[in-house]
Amino acid sequence: MTDVIRCPWITDDPVYLRYHDEEWGTPNRDGLRLFEKIILEGAQAGLSWITILKRRENYRAAFDGFDPAKIAAYDEDDVKRLMGDAGIIRNQAKIRSAINNAKVFVEHFGNDEDAFSEFLWDFVDGNPIINQRNSTNDSPSVTEISKKMGKELKKMGFSFIGPTTCYAMMQSAGMVDDHHVTCFRHTSNREA
């Protein structure tokens, strides 16, 4: 059996391997999962992604499956509950940001997750950008598109969002394929 070639940044942690092999860079048009990615990318600020990834199921439980309407109705008791939840990052600013972002989501998109997905995917004209990365140094942390996306989301009222967070979400959601060209997950290798 031949060895599978992956992006060089991936570790041998089973959670991280599964994320890389099954999710990262795979086009995702599920509005609720995209909302989740924005919240989790904001929670990740200043931390490693694996820290958040290992807590994702805890976040899903603590934040009602990332249902924006439910989160938008959270009050101070919910903030206290979340601050006491050892299964998530207990940062009050990040928790309040998640609640704020849910309120903004509901204000602009109502209960229409598809509209939110379309809004985000419109930044890439509805199709993934397929990059040809040869090394980790080839991958930017910010692009012109992620700057525009961050600016629009901030204008709507989203918080803990910016061009770096947006680009990380775009990579995760498959709006861009930043797998290395040698990685078995790169689009060109999946189509072969």
pTM for the full predicted model:
0.93
Q: Which residues are catalytic?
A: 19, 41, 49
Report whether 83 contacts 62 (CB < 8 A). no
Sketch out the chain's domains with CATH numbers: 14-191 (1.10.340.30)
Look at residues 161, 173, 151 and name the one whose alpha carbon lies nearest to residue 98.
161
Write the pLDDT tens digit of every residue in 34-93: 999 999 999 998 899 999 999 999 999 999 999 999 999 999 999 999 999 999 999 999
